[in-house]
Amino acid sequence: MAEWQTRRTQNPLPERACGFESHSGHSIAFPLTIVEVMSTVALFPGQGALSASHVDEIRTLPTWNDTASEIDDVTGGSLTAYLTDPDPARLVDTDRAQLVTFAISVATWRAASNAGITATHMVGHSLGEFSALTAAGVLTLSNGATLVHRRGIAMRRACLHTEGAMAALMGPEENRDHRLEQTDGVWIANVNGPTQVVISGYRSPIADICHEPRAWGWKRATPLTVDGAFHSPLMASAQDDLNDALATISFHDSPVTVLANVTGEVAIGDEWRDRLSRQLQSAVQFEKCVLALPESVTTAYEMGPGSTLVGLAKRIRFFDTLSQWEGR
């Protein structure tokens, strides 16, 4: 599954020199050439990356119709219903945004794969973790779509029963995490890099932090256009529905390495049942996931709507190539 590239480097250490005997009988020494195998990570965004313009763009992908049809088959036509709703503002509702973003991401990955793009590693952000697991073959498309559909509906229901909100905090100052952790009704939802975290919680304290972010150790705060407090205890009422869905799903081994949001570490097989369950109320450790990638991963493509993860990843570590995949 690797996208094989090579980089040749000259080893400067004399004890690693190699040599051979020439026809004249003299030994000729030369420095050992090390060949490193360069590989690729595919990044899959969460629902916040979605906008109405992405829906029009994705229809040009040759993989879209088949992908959408397969997802409709296991969700009772929900994907088509969401996309044909005459009120485009409803596209950002949690249940709709999650299934549509998942469909776009999987269709994009299929098109990239058909074009010869391969990956040794995959990282998803929140909902994007389900897209990554489907792309890696840990989940079948029908199982991935089923989980996303059930998760989105359960989370939407939780949003309607809580006064939740989220905000992105930028430009950290000293001890900023400690100050947030001491604030009642507020939790860290995403650790997106050295200069950004996303907080989640009740609307009132979130509004207070957005009004005066420096009091909590941050230079700027931007409220997010979401309908609830994701990755926080305010999603607890959705937990049973998600766990019931996870209990019916099989997880397969894959040659692709997928890093888990809740730990920033590799997970395999049935370990994903626990990781995906915990993710609902736990912080997305995107920075840890990116830092856990080996140095040999020098290329990163974002697979899905927008380029949110490209912007985050470039602030975490260097890649030779880092871009949204655009093969339409």
CATH number at residue 181: 3.30.70.250
Residues 237 and 121 in one domain: yes
CA distances from 120 to 2, 123, 255, 298, 299 (A): 5, 11, 8, 11, 10
Set 121, 125, 149, 231: catalytic member: 231
Residues 320 and 239 in one domain: yes
Q: φ, ψ for residue 187 (rounded to 5)?
A: -135, 150
Q: Is 51 part of the annotated catalytic residue set?
A: no
Cβ contact 68:149 at 8 Å: no
For residue 234, pLDDT beyond 60: yes
Query: Domain containing 308 — which CATH number?
Result: 3.40.366.10
Of the pLDDT bands very low, low, confident and very high (cuts 50, 70, 90), residue 306 is: confident
Most confident range, picked from 18-22, 224-228, 246-250: 246-250
Rounded to whole angstroms, how far apart are CA atoms 20 and 36?
A: 23
For residue 59, pLDDT beyond 50: yes
Q: What's residue 177's pLDDT?
A: 65
Q: Is 20 helix (H, G, I), strand (E, B) or coil?
A: strand
Angle at 222 between CA 218 and CA 224, to 5 degrees: 135
For residue 287, pLDDT beyond 50: yes
Residues 138 and 169 in one domain: no
Residues 237 and 93 in one domain: yes
Instruction: Please name the helix (run of DSSP H) or strand (run of DSSP E) that holds residue 61, with its range, or none.
Output: none
Q: What is the pLDDT of residues 137-159, one digit of tens each?
A: 999 999 999 999 999 999 999 99
Q: What's residue 34's pLDDT?
A: 35
Which residues are paired to 121 by β-bridges?
41, 257
Of the pLDDT bands very low, low, confident and very high (cuts 50, 70, 90), residue 9 is: very low
Q: Is 126 part of the annotated catalytic residue set?
A: yes
Q: What's residue 81's pLDDT?
A: 94
Cβ contact 39:299 at 8 Å: yes
For residue 189, pLDDT beyond 90: yes
Cβ contact 94:161 at 8 Å: no
Of the pLDDT bands very low, low, confident and very high (cuts 50, 70, 90), residue 308 is: very high
Residues 132 and 81 in one domain: yes
For residue 271, pLDDT beyond 70: yes
Residues 168 and 298 in one domain: no
Q: What's residue 186's pLDDT?
A: 95
Q: What's residue 54's pLDDT?
A: 78
Q: Output the six-digit token pair for 48.
A: 């916040």
Q: Which domain holds residue 86?
A: 43-160+231-324
For residue 94, pLDDT beyond 50: yes
Rounded to whole angstroms, how far apart are CA atoms 327 and 49?
A: 18
Rounded to whole angstroms, how far apart are CA atoms 309 and 99?
A: 19
Q: Is 210 helix (H, G, I), strand (E, B) or coil?
A: helix
Q: What's residue 18's pLDDT?
A: 34
The secondary structure of 226-258 as a DSSP string is -SS--SSGGGGGGHHHHHHHHHT------SSEE
Set 126, 131, 282, 307: catalytic member: 126
Which residues are paired to 42 by β-bridges?
122, 301
| Core vs surface per residue 116-145: b (16+ CB within 10 A) or e | ebebbbbbbbbbbbbbbbbbbebbbbebbb
Calculate the CA 1 to chain-centre distance: 19
Cβ contact 145:261 at 8 Å: no
Of the pLDDT bands very low, low, confident and very high (cuts 50, 70, 90), residue 32 is: very low
CA distances from 163 to 73, 95, 199, 243, 283 (A): 34, 17, 14, 23, 19
Averaged pLDDT for residues 114-123 = 96
Q: What's residue 176's pLDDT?
A: 62
Residues 53 and 113 in one domain: yes
Q: Is 133 helix (H, G, I), strand (E, B) or coil?
A: helix
Residues 235 and 313 in one domain: yes
Rounded to whole angstroms, how far apart are CA atoms 302 and 310?
A: 7
Of the pLDDT bands very low, low, confident and very high (cuts 50, 70, 90), residue 245 is: very high
Averaged pLDDT for residues 311-318 = 96
Q: What's residue 225's pLDDT?
A: 87
Summary mean pLDDT of the chain: 87
Structure-model confidence comparison of residues 322 and 30, the more confident one: 322
Identity of residue 80: T
Q: What's residue 30's pLDDT?
A: 35
Name the region of 131 (left: φ>0; alpha: ψ -120 to 50; beta: rest). Answer: alpha
Of the pLDDT bands very low, low, confident and very high (cuts 50, 70, 90), residue 8 is: very low
Q: Output the six-digit token pair for 107.
A: 């269709």
Residues 137 and 172 in one domain: no
pTM of the model: 0.87
Q: What is the pLDDT of residues 168-178, one digit of tens each?
A: 999 876 666 66
> How many domains would you assign to the chain?
3
Residues 51 and 139 in one domain: yes
Residues 214 and 246 in one domain: no
Calculate the CA 189 to chain-centre distance: 14
For residue 220, pLDDT beyond 70: yes
Q: What's residue 22's pLDDT?
A: 36
Residues 60 and 136 in one domain: yes
Q: Which of 22-26, 52-56, 287-291 has the lowest mean pLDDT?
A: 22-26
- Nearest alpha-carbon partner for 8 in 24, 28, 32, 27: 32
